[in-house]
Chains A and B, each alone.
Chain A
Amino acid sequence: GENVEQHPSTLSVQEGDSAVIKCTYSDSASNYFPWYKQELGKRPQLIIDIRSNVGEKKDQRIAVTLNKTAKHFSLHITETQPEDSAVYFCAAIPSGGYQKVTFGTGTKLQVIP
């Protein structure tokens, strides 16, 4: 089955710096890669996603890049702010339904004011 490795598990950055979180997947059939942000005690919220026919996608301070050959994708947050502090999860999903979704183990991001 699919295996998704996410690194780092914790990340501390100074406010205004950039943060990068990386995920590596194993199943070449995966073609949808969402990123979720989960604040303490709250629901996971989709912040950005990318599909396998796209190499990069950007939404204001957030960007995701996908390297299909190397089977990894990364989340980039620029100009970090204290409200970016949360746990971030990546996921890899093949077509056909969410039954094969595999989530990364999460990265706890702390933005220090």
Chain B
Amino acid sequence: KAGVTQTPRYLIKTRGQQVTLSCSPISGHRSVSWYQQTPGQGLQFLFEYFSETQRNKGNFPGRFSGRQFSNSRSEMNVSTLELGDSALYLCASSLVTSGTDTQYFGPGTRLTVL
């Protein structure tokens, strides 16, 4: 099976712009989670989608949003970008959303905000 894919791999934006990141899960996986990874804060949970529904959201401002499509592909959007949004954004997929199901990470999107 193909692994989790993310596009684009690298993005450079300026403050105030918005960005959309895409994640394609492993075939058959219905749960997609998004994470932000920074040197200072480490890995932090953004949100999780299952069957096109956002199950929960981490402690991030409303500028961070997402959605999931019927084919389980997911997008994440960040509006009004700030310098502090520079990070590696990782998505991970799993079969179900029990919390004990193995997650597989994508390669990430490196976002740089200037």
Contacts and interface: CB of A to CB of B under 8 A. Distances in A.
Contact of A97 (B42, B48, B90): B48
Contacts of A45: 105
B90 A43 contact: yes
Interface string A85-99: 000010101111111
**Contact residues of B: prevailing secondary structure:** strand
B105 A44 contact: yes
B7 interface: no
| Size class of the B contact interface (CB-based, 8 Å) | 20 to 34
A94 B103 CA distance: 14
A63 interface: no
Interface of B: 4, 31, 33, 42-45, 47-48, 50, 55-58, 90, 92, 94, 97-100, 102-108
Given A46-B102, A103-B44, 17 more contacts: A32-B100, A34-B103, A43-B90, A93-B99, A94-B99, A97-B55, A97-B56, A97-B98, A98-B31, A98-B33, A98-B48, A98-B92, A98-B103, A99-B57, A100-B45, A103-B43, A106-B42
